[in-house]
Amino acid sequence: MQAALERIAVPALALLASAVLFGLLLAVYAGVDPFDAFGLMYQGAFGSWFSWQNTLTRAAPLILTALCTALPARLGLVIIGNEGALVLGGLAAAAAGAAVTAAPPLVVQLTMIVAGMLAGGAWIAFAGALRQYRGVNETISSLLLTYIAIALMNHFVEGPLRDPASLNKPSTASIGDANMIGNIPGMDVHWGLVFGIVACVLVWLFQRFTTWGFAMQVIGGNPKTARMMGLNVGRYVLLACGAGGAAAGLAGTVEVAAVLGRANASLAVGYGYSGILVSFLARHNPLAIIPVAVLLGGIGASGGLLQRRLDLPDAAVVVLQGIIFVAILASETLYGRLLPRKQEG
Amino acid sequence: MDHGGIGLWGVPLAMLAGAIRVSTPFLFVSVGECLTERSGRINLGLEGTLVMGAMSAYGMALYTGSPWLGVLLAAGVGVLLGALHAGICQLPRVNDIATGIGLMLFGTGLAFFLGKPFIQPKAPVLGAIDLGWWSDIPQIRQALQVNYLFVLGIVLAFAMAWALKNTRWGLIVRLAGESVDAALAIGTPVGRVRLIATSIGGAFAGVGGAFLSLYYPGSWNEGLSSGQGLMAVALVIFARWDPIRCLWASLLFGAAGAISPALQSVGVTEGYYLFSAAPYVLTLALMIATCSPERSLRGAPGELGVVH
């Protein structure tokens, strides 16, 4: 009982502390009334149907990229290459889509999804393989791979894959309007949101009800025991990293197929980095990722309003995200100590 | 094909210049992180510290007109962020890798937030020693402009190596990093040692950031750092926790980072972005080459990455 209460109370306390710190920063440094700011943020994130749709559109890639950290985290790995997998997934999807534009839309879309997921999955699986077979720290290697992925995207977008018609903003060729993945009926939110929610539920079912999911939990709990039990740790590392990367690649695919219509620098706007935060806030629980992504998507969506109305720098929401991140991590220490519990036995 | 009289020689020359100029931030961050990791803690947040250092140094130089006061402030900000990291990691059950990622996000966000007013104005920058006075060729003269901070960094690397090996303090730091049990047994305050080591490491990273904004590239903007702080952490692993090897590795990374602009300067623009990824590819390749699946690397502090 206490444990369940703590799971709500500790993050709530951390969020409250973050809000106070952020409010202080706004009041002291920017001379802005923090209550004004939080009111505006609520308006910009959840205040109207319009802002809800904006928030949900931003939440979609966050849900998918969060899985890129959450899945390997089950094995005790800290992967932060989400942005790279997203960018490469988007690039691969755009290239594949542009290559088969003449095919029926469904074929084009499926081709793009497969290409994007394969590219993202292979990228993160590579980081996992380096960890497993060479002992290379997966946190650092996956972030290095992100920088390499962004350089690759820039190279292809400005070089071999550049559409000569894209003058001001170098882009790949368009995948064609008919091939775009549209919106969910009745909403101004694209299908990526549904993909994300389905993916989270599938991952949850997998972790909860399959032997493989259980094996992953054992490995994350104690790799030595897992090895003694004869579990093929390498296979699970590749599987978790590959699936996580595929989710981030799907996020990139959706950005291309539902928002941009082509690959360009707008792919690398930080959804991958925010996805890391979402995964940690959700404590790597796939079902918790969905509401956390909506919350973070809302914070992101309100950035524009803060900038326009209060003249705050657009980095204000990044600061808030950073404060929340650190506060949540520091609050780990409170578990088991926040609420008095009855003596056991 | 005449490029200022030295033709394609411009490429190795520009890489030498790059090794001197681009390497300084790597040098400072990696030597500082070397000390931190020797005490048994990893600070991945140095990327954020670097950017905060760059921003605060630039702002200070702008207001006071003295770039050296800027460097000092950057070091101070680094100490604060380092102490924050150490303080949070000291809490039971807090993971230092994750906290580092959080502080990376926090530091860069805060720097962009507070640094908004400094993007336009031009601050006074740090001076350099002219070692190329003997040459008539402008490229050589430019390549041999050596900043004071680079020299300071080399001195500090050697001083750090000496202190870790030969002083009582160095022994205490290494003890805290090798075995908490042994350190506690002889009454070493492990937490305080790590707090100090992480704070000093933060100060180094802050100064590395000051170099970015006050010398090369010598301005403040949001794209100033491209992962140097993080690569320097990887570099420490490659240098096997030895400050002197950190120096050589930094020079190598600086040269790799200069390939792309060097090729551009002699007219090779093909594959600009591919060559710009050279330092990252190099880091990754070196890590693949030097790491081993058997956990303990030669020279690795025993307590690194252990959560208590």
The answer, yes or no, to whether the previous bond of B217 is cis (omega within 30 of 0) is: yes
Inside any domain, residue A62: yes
Which residue range(s) make up the domain with A291?
35-334
Q: Which residue of chain B has the CA closest to A314? A: B113
Q: Which residue of chain B has the CA closest to A140? A: B234
Inside any domain, residue A345: no
Low-confidence residues of chain B: pLDDT under 70: 1-7, 294-299, 305-308
Q: Which residue of chain A has the CA closest to B93? A: A333
Give percent of chain A with pLDDT exceeding 90: 70
Inside any domain, residue A294: yes
Average per-residue pLDDT for chain A:
92
**pLDDT tier, A344 (very low <50, low <70, confident <90, very high otherwise):** very low
pLDDT at A8: 84
Q: What is the count of structural domains for chain A?
A: 1
Question: Which among A144, A320, A329 has the least Cβ separation from residue B98?
Answer: A329
- Min Cα separation A305/chain B (Å): 16
pLDDT in tens, A72-113: 999 999 999 999 999 999 999 999 999 998 899 999 999 999
Contact criterion met (CB < 8 Å) for A144 and B110: no
Q: Which residues contact A35 (CB under 8 A, 6 or more apart)?
A: A23
User: How many A/B residue pairs have CB atoms within 8 Å?
Assistant: 140
Question: Which among B112, B273, B277 has the least Cβ separation from residue A315?
Answer: B112
Cα(B3)–Cα(A47) distance, rounded to whole angstroms? Answer: 61
Contacts of A218-226 with C-beta under 8 Å, sequence gap 24+, read A219/A75, A219/A76, A220/A73, A220/A74, A220/A75, A220/A76, A223/A76
Inside any domain, residue A170: yes
pTM of the model: 0.89
Q: Which residue of chain B has the CA closest to A322? A: B106
Q: Where are the beta strands (DSSP E) in chain B?
A: 128-130, 145-147
Establish whether this prediction's ipTM goes over 0.95. Answer: no
pLDDT at B101: 85
Contact criterion met (CB < 8 Å) for B99 and A333: no
Half-sphere exposure of A248 (CA within 13 A, CB side): 43
Do residues B14 and B265 touch, judged by C-beta distance below 8 A? yes
Is a pLDDT exceeding 80 seen at residue A196? yes
Do residues A28 and A289 touch, judged by C-beta distance below 8 A? no
pLDDT in tens, A115-161: 999 999 999 999 999 999 998 889 889 989 999 999 999 999 988 89
Do residues B93 and A302 touch, judged by C-beta distance below 8 A? no
**pLDDT tier, A345 (very low <50, low <70, confident <90, very high otherwise):** very low
Contact criterion met (CB < 8 Å) for B230 and A140: yes
pLDDT at B287: 84
Longest distance between any two alpha carbons in chain B, whole Å: 69
pLDDT at B294: 64
| Among B12, B4, B36, B2, residue whose Cα is nearest residue B229 | B36
Q: Two tokens at B82?
A: 């380092």
Which chain B residues have a beta carbon less than 8 Å from that of A280? 98, 101-102
Which chain B residues have a beta carbon less than 8 Å from that of A328? 102
- Reported as type and span, the H/E element at residue B215 is none
Inside any domain, residue A22: no
pLDDT at A126: 97
- Min Cα separation B132/chain A (Å): 34
Q: How many separate helices (H) and strands (E) can be counted in chain A?
A: 13, 0
Average pLDDT over residues A38-66: 95
Contact criterion met (CB < 8 Å) for A135 and B295: yes
Q: B163 burial class (0-12, 13-18, 19+ CB within 10 angstroms)?
A: middle
Question: Which among A80, A148, A323 has the least Cβ separation from residue B277?
Answer: A148
pLDDT in tens, A242-273: 999 999 999 999 999 999 999 999 999 889 98
Residue type for position A315: A
Inside any domain, residue A228: yes
Give percent of chain A with pLDDT exceeding 70: 98
Inside any domain, residue A313: yes
Residue type for position B280: Y
- Domain holding A124: CATH number? 1.10.3470
Which chain B residues have a beta carbon less than 8 Å from that of A144? 227, 230-231, 234, 280, 283-284
pLDDT at A200: 98
Q: Which residue of chain B has the CA closest to A79? A: B98
Which chain A residues have a beta carbon less than 8 Å from that of B105? 273, 277, 318, 321-322, 325
Inside any domain, residue A237: yes
Which chain B residues have a beta carbon less than 8 Å from that of A271? none
Q: Two tokens at B98?
A: 């994750």
Q: Where are the beta strands (DSSP E) in B50-197?
A: 128-130, 145-147
Which chain B residues have a beta carbon less than 8 Å from that of A137? 234, 237, 287, 291
**pLDDT tier, A340 (very low <50, low <70, confident <90, very high otherwise):** low
Which residues of chain A are at the B interface, by a Cβ-Cβ cutoff of 8 Å?
29, 78, 80, 130, 132-137, 139-141, 143-145, 147-148, 151-152, 154-155, 158-159, 273, 276-277, 280, 313, 315-316, 318-323, 325-326, 328-330, 332-333, 335
Average pLDDT over residues A28-41: 91
